[in-house]
Amino acid sequence: MKSKNHVNKSIIHLLFSCFAIALLSGQALAETGHGEEAEHGEEGHIELTQEQIQHSGITLVTATSGTIRDVLPVYGVVATNAERVQSVTARFDGVIREVKKSVGDPVRKGETLVTVEANESLKTYSIVSALNGAVTQRNANAGEHTTDIPLLVVQDFSTVWVELSVFPKDVAQVELGQRVRILSLDSTQIAEGKIIYIAPLGQTGNQAIMARALIDNPNGIWKPGLFVNAQITRAEIAAPMVIRNEALQIVEDNPVVFVRGEEGFEPRTVTLGRTDGELTEVVAGLSADEVYVSKNSFILKSELGKEDAEHGH
């Protein structure tokens, strides 16, 4: 009987010990869980080395004041600058002895294009290019007689026109000298120009008024015949704080900018104001002279998502 009582006491003691251990373990787990939450709360910063920043193509810009443009969006088509075209003709009628250029060939101002033997003097003379450009038409070959048709046509594409279609209701907002931003249809190419001409007559086809802009085209990326989008600047509004549109990311349905601090890059929720498609006014959430990510900020958003997923597990 004593042995049985002894066993019962031992079992009770064992159960009590297990309960105490479980209680202490639960307390420890609770404290550990609390510590992780505090650490997670202090996170939200993404640390990158200078090498990682450069490799990712991340661009940093200092927040500052700027100008928001009030624009009139229109569409248009690139056209040859008709003031930079040379129709090459023979000064004296005769026989063409040599044509030195073909369609597509580049030419320099003063370069010989064609040689002709005059009918009356039988002397050979040269016809030179009046401008830098490229040959776009050739209507002459050696041995042929000159005619009224241009022998060659040379065009200079270093500048081009953009013929914009403005609807009648918007014509009053367009003036000579206004700045225009030209964008390729995929928005990868951007150029700046000015309105140089507004047609006095409408176009029967689309019932629009043509406004012509002149833009520089040093690399030849703006090809005549291509459709483009454009923004005619109606007014420029000073804003105390602006950021580049590509800097903005949406995190948990809020606009966010990644700001560089001592602990890394912090996702900062911002309140936005006016925008013109390139710059956006920041009303709150960002201070002057803070450095933010203006390009490839989606990389930091991706890293932030990975961090949240890890803590979710």
H or E element: which one contains 307?
helix 298-312
Residue 178 in this model has a pLDDT that exceeds 80? yes
Residue-averaged pLDDT of the chain? 86
Within a domain: 169 = yes
Q: Assign 34 a pLDDT band (cuts: 50, 70, 90).
A: very low
Final residue belonging to a domain, choices 236, 261, 293 = 236
Report the pLDDT value the prediction gives residue 13, as an integer from 0 to 100. Answer: 52
Q: Are strands 209-216 and 271-275 parallel, antiparallel or unpaired?
A: unpaired
Q: How confident is the model at residue 52 (pLDDT cuts 50, 70, 90)?
A: confident
**Is the confidence at residue 15, as pLDDT, over 60?**
no
Strand order in the sheet with 112-118: 94-99, 112-118, 124-128
Tokens 């060939």 correspond to what residue?
A: 105
In angstroms, the CA 152 to CA 213 distance is 27
The percentage of the chain sitting over the pLDDT mark of 90, rounded to a whole number, equals 69
Number of domains in the chain: 3
CATH code for position 298: 2.40.420.20
258, part of any domain: yes
Q: pLDDT tens for residues 277-290?
A: 889 999 999 998 89
- Could you tell me whether strands 59-62 and 264-269 are parallel, antiparallel, or unpaired per DSSP bridges? unpaired
The last residue of one of the domains, among 155, 171, 201, is 155
Q: Are 223 and 78 in contact (CB under 8 A)?
A: yes
Q: What pLDDT does residue 301 have?
A: 87
> Does residue 268 contact residue 259 with C-beta atoms inside 8 Å?
yes
* Residue 25 domain-assigned (yes or no): no
Question: Do both 259 and 124 map to the same domain?
Answer: no
pLDDT band at 311 (very low <50, low <70, confident <90, very high): low
- pLDDT-derived band at 276 (thresholds 50, 70, 90) equals confident
Measured CA to CA, the distance from residue 275 to residue 279 in angstroms comes to 6
Q: Is residue 16 part of a domain?
A: no
Q: pLDDT tens digit string along 179-236? A: 999 999 998 999 999 999 999 999 988 899 999 999 999 999 999 999 999 999 999 9
Distance CA(132)–CA(280), nearest Å, equals 41
Evaluate whether 64 touches 244 at the Cβ level (below 8 Å): no
pLDDT in tens, 68-108: 999 999 999 999 999 999 999 999 999 999 999 999 999 99
Q: What is the DSSP letter of 84?
A: G
Task: Look up residue 37 and give its DSSP letter.
Answer: H
* Spacing of C-alpha 261 from chain mean position: 27
Q: Is residue 257 part of a domain?
A: yes
Pair 50, 184 in one domain: no
Whether 76 and 219 map to the same domain: the answer is: yes
How confident is the model at residue 206, as a pLDDT?
87
CA-to-CA distance for 281 and 248, rounded, in angstroms? 12
pLDDT at 24: 39
Q: Which residues contact 245 (CB under 8 A, 6 or more apart)?
A: 275, 277, 278, 279, 280
In a domain, 30, yes or no: no
pTM of the model: 0.72
> From CA 17, how far away is CA 201, in angstroms rounded?
99
Q: What is the per-residue pLDDT across 229-259, written as a single tens digit (0 to 9) for each?
A: 999 999 999 999 999 999 999 988 999 999 9
* DSSP 8-state secondary structure symbol assigned to residue 174: -
Q: Does the structure show a pLDDT above 90 at 39?
A: no
Which residue among 236, 257, 277 closes a domain?
A: 236
Give the neighbor-by-neighbor strand order of the sheet with 152-155.
85-88, 152-155, 133-138, 106-107
pLDDT classification of 36: cutoffs 50, 70, 90: very low
CATH of the domain at 195: 2.40.30.170
Domain span at residue 268 reads: 42-68+238-312
Rg for the chain (alpha carbons), in Å? Answer: 36
Report the pLDDT value the prediction gives residue 307, as an integer from 0 to 100.
60
pLDDT recorded at residue 136: 97
Q: What pLDDT score does 278 carry?
A: 87
pLDDT at 25 over 50: no
pLDDT category of residue 32 using cuts at 50, 70 and 90: very low
In this structure, of 44-48, 85-89, 127-131, the range with the lowest mean pLDDT score is 44-48
Clarify whether residues 192 and 244 are in a common domain: no
> In the predicted model, is pLDDT for residue 14 greater than 80?
no
Tell whether 17 is covered by a domain. Answer: no
- DSSP 3-state helix, strand, coil percentages of the chain (rounded to 5)? 25, 45, 30
Residues 60 and 75 in one domain: no
Tokens 């910063």 belong to 45
In 3D space, the residue among 98, 191, 187, 181 whose CA is nearest the CA of residue 141 turns out to be: 98
CB-count burial class (<10 Å; 0-12, 13-18, 19+) for 226:
middle
